């Protein structure tokens, strides 16, 4: 399964916030955790997490501080703020609405046989009364 | 491994949207990933490659950063610490630089205590001979301090300045003579090399550091020109507004503000180049790119006119001194252009443009040119400088592929 780019981008904020609600963490560990939680289905480009984190920091949802890793390197840790946990709660609700809405719609297999890609002739299809579609 | 990470860092740093702290963060990520991959049994190189790949394509990454930090794309000229390495000592460094700038400004007023007034015609010759001695020692001190030069080396570093001062003031120069002019013009160049030793932290034998110094020199020049421009506007406006209330401040400006400011700016420009490198970093190569063709054109036009009219160069000392300076400019442009070019880039049209600049030393032999650009090895023969009709010339020889070497014999 390949999760679309837009969905990955949209889900980044609630995912990061909920991971941080477990406690302070840093970029690499967050990515590992996302990987674990999604069973490897949610693939992020590692670097892209950081602008997201910085945006969350600017919005006041997380607080960043420089610390040290086990090996003594400088490492930036992120912590959820009160605003962040509020945001997380609201995002969770939103996602639940979307997901329950999706689940409650009936899902039918498509009846049409898959078609090869061919150039769409909009003008003709209109004059044909849309039979081409 | 460290080297690879260093390279990667400097590559990322070039993106304006990603600043020092962010690079630190990404580097930590990279290292953690590499360590983990190595534990999984990959060798160092593979681990590094995969980790870099996973961080993602830098173009789209810096686009993301740019969206988050649009203000970073506006180059901030305000003096703020370059985040990341060396950020801690920044304030201290600023204070030291400021202190040295004030000292340089004060130094130019010291001779007045001995009756050598700046606006006095009799003292003109003294100031002309010594103008480089007021600021450059302080610039050297700044770098000696910054690079933590060993005490023994510091003593050695003082030598050229002391010798310069002694020579300039003990030798019997004729006021307004050519020898005096030559000496006054060349002393700053010699002292600039001495500052270079301090800049390199004593490691001036390393050609990489030397190239850095060439780059520094170019950027320093631009900063200095900018400060001078700003200072000029400031002074003009000061004269005007004080003139409006009937006060003549010109004397104050010419005897205090201008000389002290000019000296202090030498230090401030030197400090700024290092503190706010990224501001000029991209501008300097553009300026070189702009002026190299113009200089080449001017020199070619000059050569053409000389051949066309059949008039040889008037071999008079003043003229030769002028050419001497022209050569300094050409050498400066050339060295700077070489230092600023991307070592990986193929020699292009722009590199070709340097060749005529190389060929044209009047009276000197056209240098046997090797491969332009990347393979250029430049030798400067300063000892030939003073002989009439024998200007220093540049001769390129084929060097090692992909290395732009610059060798200036001490």
User: Nearest CA of chain B to the CA of A120: how many Å?
Assistant: 32
- A-chain residue closest to B22, CA distance: A50
pLDDT of residue B85: 42
Rounded mean pLDDT of B87-101?
79
List CB contacts (< 8 A) between A46 and chain B: 29, 33, 54-56
Task: Pick the residue of B68, B73, B86, B88 with the most A CBs within 10 A to test the interface with A by mutation.
Answer: B68
| Run of H or E residues at A77 | strand A74-80
Lowest mean pLDDT segment, chosen from A11-20, A61-70, B251-260, B397-406: B397-406
* Helix (H/G/I), strand (E/B), else coil: A78: strand
B85-89 LR contacts (CB < 8 Å, sep 24+) = B85/B20, B87/B20
pLDDT band at B171 (very low <50, low <70, confident <90, very high): confident
Given a cut of 60, is residue B82 above it in pLDDT?
no
Question: Between chains, do A76 and B21 touch, taking CB under 8 Å as contact?
Answer: yes
- Share above pLDDT 90 across residues of chain B, in percent, rounded to a whole number: 9
In this predicted model, which residue has the larger pLDDT, B91 or B221? B221
Q: For residue B349, count other CB atoms closer than 10 A to its CB.
A: 9
What is the rounded CA–CA span in Å between residue B74 and residue B71? 5
List CB contacts (< 8 A) between A58 and chain B: 68
Contact assessment for residue B294 and residue B240, using Cβ atoms and an 8 Å cutoff: no
CATH numeric code, A5-101: 1.10.10.10
Given a cut of 80, is residue B373 above it in pLDDT?
no
**Shortest CB distance from A47 goes to which of B26, B31, B67?**
B26
In this predicted model, which residue has the larger pLDDT, A41 or B385? A41
What is the rounded CA–CA span in Å between residue B136 and residue B153? 17
pLDDT of residue A120: 55
**Pairs across A and B, CB distance < 8 A:** 59
List CB contacts (< 8 A) between B23 and chain A: none
**Shortest CB distance from B28 goes to which of A47, A55, A75?**
A75
What is the rounded CA–CA span in Å between residue A125 and residue A129? 6
**Shortest CB distance from A48 goes to which of B28, B31, B61?**
B61
pLDDT of residue B355: 57
> Token pair for residue B36?
């983990």
Give helix B258-275 / helix B121-146 axis angle, nearest 10°.
20
What is the rounded CA–CA span in Å between residue B117 and residue A65? 57
Per the prediction, chain B carries an average pLDDT of 75
Q: Classify strands B394-398 and B376-380 as parallel, antiparallel or unpaired.
A: antiparallel
Give helix B283-309 / helix B317-340 axis angle, nearest 10°.
140
**Shortest CB distance from A47 goes to which of B28, B61, B68?**
B61
Given a cut of 60, is residue A99 above it in pLDDT?
yes
What is the rounded CA–CA span in Å between residue B70 and residue B222? 26
Contact assessment for residue B11 and residue B58, using Cβ atoms and an 8 Å cutoff: yes
| Run of H or E residues at B262 | helix B258-275
Q: For residue B49, count other CB atoms closer than 10 A to its CB.
A: 14
Window 18-57 of B, Cβ < 8 Å to A: 21-22, 24-26, 28-29, 31-33, 35, 54-57
List CB contacts (< 8 A) between A45 and chain B: 54-57, 60-61
Distance of alpha carbon B54 from its chain centroid, rounded?
38
**Shortest CB distance from A51 goes to which of B31, B55, B64?**
B64
Contact assessment for residue B376 and residue B396, using Cβ atoms and an 8 Å cutoff: yes
List CB contacts (< 8 A) between A59 and chain B: none
pLDDT of residue A70: 83
pLDDT of residue A18: 92
pLDDT band at A131 (very low <50, low <70, confident <90, very high): very low
């Amino acid at each position: 399964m390949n999760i679309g780019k837009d969905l990955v981008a949209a889900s980044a904020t609630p995912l990061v916030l909920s991971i941080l609600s477990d406690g302070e963490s840093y970029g690499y560990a967050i990515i590992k955790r996302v990987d674990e939680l999604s069973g490897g289905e949610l693939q992020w480009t590692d670097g892209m997490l950081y602008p997201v984190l910085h945006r969350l920091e600017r919005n006041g949802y997380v607080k960043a501080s420089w610390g040290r890793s086990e090996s003594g390197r400088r490492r930036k840790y992120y912590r959820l703020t009160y605003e962040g946990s509020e945001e997380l709660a609201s995002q969770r609700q939103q996602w639940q609405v979307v997901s329950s809405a999706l689940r409650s719609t009936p899902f039918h297999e498509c009846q049409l046989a898959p078609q090869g890609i061919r150039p769409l002739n909009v003008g003709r299809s209109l004059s044909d009364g849309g039979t081409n579609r | 491994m460290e080297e690879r990470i260093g390279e990667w860092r400097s590559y990322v740093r070039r993106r304006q949207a990603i600043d020092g702290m962010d690079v630190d963060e990404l580097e930590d990520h990279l290292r953690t990933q590499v360590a983990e991959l190595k534990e999984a049994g990959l060798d160092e190189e593979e681990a590094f490659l995969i980790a870099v790949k996973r961080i993602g394509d830098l173009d789209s990454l810096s686009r993301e950063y740019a969206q988050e930090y649009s203000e970073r794309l506006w180059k901030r000229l305000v003096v703020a610490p370059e985040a990341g390495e060396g950020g801690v000592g920044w304030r201290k460094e600023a204070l030291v630089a400021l202190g040295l700038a004030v000292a340089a400004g004060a130094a130019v007023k010291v001779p007045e205590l001995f009756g050598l007034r700046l606006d006095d015609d009799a003292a003109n010759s003294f100031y002309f001979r010594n103008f480089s001695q007021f600021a450059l020692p302080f610039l050297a001190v700044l770098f000696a301090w910054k690079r933590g030069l060993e005490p023994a080396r510091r003593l050695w570093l003082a030598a050229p300045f002391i010798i310069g001062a002694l020579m300039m003031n003990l030798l019997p120069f004729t006021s307004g003579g050519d020898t005096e002019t030559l000496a006054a013009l060349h002393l700053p160049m010699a002292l600039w090399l001495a500052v270079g030793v301090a800049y390199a932290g004593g490691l001036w034998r390393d050609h990489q550091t030397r190239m850095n110094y060439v780059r520094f020199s170019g950027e320093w020049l631009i900063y200095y020109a900018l400060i001078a421009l700003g200072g000029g506007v400031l002074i003009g406006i000061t004269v005007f507004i004080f003139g409006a209330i009937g006060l003549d401040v010109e004397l104050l400006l010419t005897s205090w503000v201008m000389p002290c400011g000019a000296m202090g700016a030498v230090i401030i420009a030197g400090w700024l180049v290092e503190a706010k490198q990224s501001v000029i970093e991209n501008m300097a190569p553009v300026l070189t790119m702009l002026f190299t063709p113009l200089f080449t054109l001017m020199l070619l036009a000059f050569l053409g006119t000389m051949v066309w009219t059949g008039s040889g160069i008037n071999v008079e000392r003043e003229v030769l001194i002028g050419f001497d300076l022209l050569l300094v400019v050409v050498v400066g442009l050339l060295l700077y252009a070489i230092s600023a070019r991307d070592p990986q880039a193929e020699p292009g049209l722009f590199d070709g443009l340097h060749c005529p600049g190389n060929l044209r030393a009047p009276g000197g032999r056209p240098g046997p040119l090797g491969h332009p650009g990347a393979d250029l090895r430049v030798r400067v023969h300063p000892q030939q400088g003073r002989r009439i009709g024998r200007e220093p010339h540049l001769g390129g020889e084929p060097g090692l592929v992909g290395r732009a070497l610059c060798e200036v014999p001490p």
